[in-house]
Structure 1
C-alpha cells in the first residue's frame, strides 16, 4: 500500500499546473492540521520565504498527512514525494540510530534555543548524523519545552511516589522510570487519552500543553513539575537534489529561513504551554513541584542511562560515546551551550 501511495503522490505532483514564469513552487507536507502549533510556525516560515524572495518562491502546503506519512517521511522526501516536509527521525525504526539516541543527551539544556544549539554541537562532532540524513537538507532543528508527569488520580510529591505507577514514556526514559520503581510503557501518543480515561495507565510524561492540545485536563487531575530533559532533532527538511537545483539566490533565502523557522517553532511551543497550563487551572488540575534533591537524582539517573545507551551504539559500528562526551562538554552551565568546550 505504501508503494501505491508513493506512486499516486508522484503522479499528482507531475500533473500539477506549471508555475507562472519566474516563480518556483515548492511543496511542503506535514502530518498536522493547519491549526496545530507546529503548523502555525510553518506558516510563519512560508510567509517569510515568499516575502524575502520577492515572490520568486511560493510554498504550496499539504496538511494532515495527505502527502507524507509520519513514519516514512524521510524516505518519501528522498524520493521527491514533496519538496519539503516535517520529519521525525527520533521515531524512525531504522537508519537513524544516533539521532534517536542523542535525544537523551540534553540534561542542562532547558530552552528550545539551547537544545537546538546543543544538537548542532553534537552534529558537528559526529559525522554519523550527516550520514543518517543523507539526501536531505535540514531547514529547521526543533527543541521544545520540558515535560513533566501528568497523572490521573494520584498526586506525586516525590520520586518515591512513582513506585508501581504505569506510566507512558518515550523510549529513552523507560529505563530511568524502571529504576525508580515505576512500570513504564511505550505507546503512540494518540492512544494515551483513551488509556488514561480507562485506567490502563496511571500517567504520562508530557508537557503542560497537552492539557489543552490533547485534552488531558478531561482525564487527569495532577501534574508533577519534574523537569524531564528533552532533546532536539532535525524536524524540517528538503530533498537535497531539489535544494541544489535552485538558484543561488533562492538557496540563500532558504538558508536565511532556518533561523526564522526555529524561532517560530520555539514561540509556538511556549505559547502552547501557556494555553495548556491555563486549561489545567480551569479544570482544577493540582500542580506539585519536584524538590531540588529529587530533580538532581532524576537527572543523575538520566545521564547514567544516556551514557549506557550511547555505548550501546557500538554494536552498529557507531561511536555514540564520542557524541555523548561532545554533548556533555558543550553544556557549560544551566541552559548555556558552547561547542568545543572542555569539562
Structure 2
C-alpha cells in the first residue's frame, strides 16, 4: 500500500464505515487511537449531520480518520414495482402501526453538499461507495490533502477506480455485511459476487493501486490471509459491530451470535439493493419479490425499520452482518484492535516458520 496512506495508521486494520447508525464518532476514535483507521459513515445523514460528527470525532481523537460518502444513484424505472411493493408491505405497516415512507425522498444523499463540506474542512481520508467519483472530484480532494478510496466488487470496477485517480481500492468480497458496493445494480447478477481472497488476487494482477480487502474478516489470521493475497490492509465491519462503542441497536449486536439467526443472505427486502444481513422474518417474507429500486425501497421501509427497532423486534430489523458474524467478540473497540494485531503477528510468525512449525510434514 502507498507508504503515505499507510503512515496514517500503524496497523493494517480499517474500521468499515457502516451507515445507518453503527459507525459513530466514539467507535472511529477508539479504532484510530488503537492504531487502526476509524471511519464515519456520511450515508443517510445530512451534510450538517456529517459535519457535526466530524467535529465530535476531532474532539475525541487527534489521530487520522476517514469519512465515507454514497455516490448519487441513477433515475429508477421501477415506479410500478415500487408501488406494488408498497402494497405488499401494507401488513407490515399495520403491524407496526406506522405509515410507509415516501419512496421519492431523494436520490443523491446530499452528495454535492457533503463534498462542499469535505472540501471546505478536509479530513484525512474520503471513501466512496456505489460508484466512482469524477476525476475532477478526486483531484479537488487531493488538492485539499485528502486521500481518496473507492469500493470495487469486480476487476472492471477496480479499473474504473484506478482511472478516477483514487489512491486505493477497497476490494469488497461477497462475504461482506451490509450493501454490496457495486457500481451498477444489475439484478441478473444477484448472488454472483466474488469471494474476497479471489477478488484481491484478481485486482492485484489487473491494477497497480493499493488494495484494502473487506468481506467476512473477523480474525487476525484472516487479515494475514488477505495481506498474503496482495492487500495492504483489511477493512472490518461486523467485527466492530458488537463493540460497546458501536452505535448499532442492542438487539442487532445480540443477534450476531444468537442461534436464532444462524446464517446470512443477500437481500433487496429493506433497501432495493443487494445487502447481506441475518436472515429474519422480514427478509424471508419480502426478499423474494423486493424490486431492484434503490434508494426508493430504502425510503419506503425506513419507518418500518425504525418501528421494529423501537419495539426491539429483531425479526423486522435490517440486521446487516457479514458471513463471519458468529465469530463476533464483545470487546471494546481498542482492545479488539490489539487482539487482532496479536493474532495477525501470530499468523505471520507461523507462516514465516514454515511447515516445520506444525510438526512432521508427510
Tell me if TM exceeds 0.5: no
TM-score (norm 2): 0.28
Q: Which has the higher contact order (CA 8 A, sep 6+)?
A: 1
Provide TM-score, normalisation by structure 1: 0.29
Between structures 1 and 2, the one with greater helix share? 1
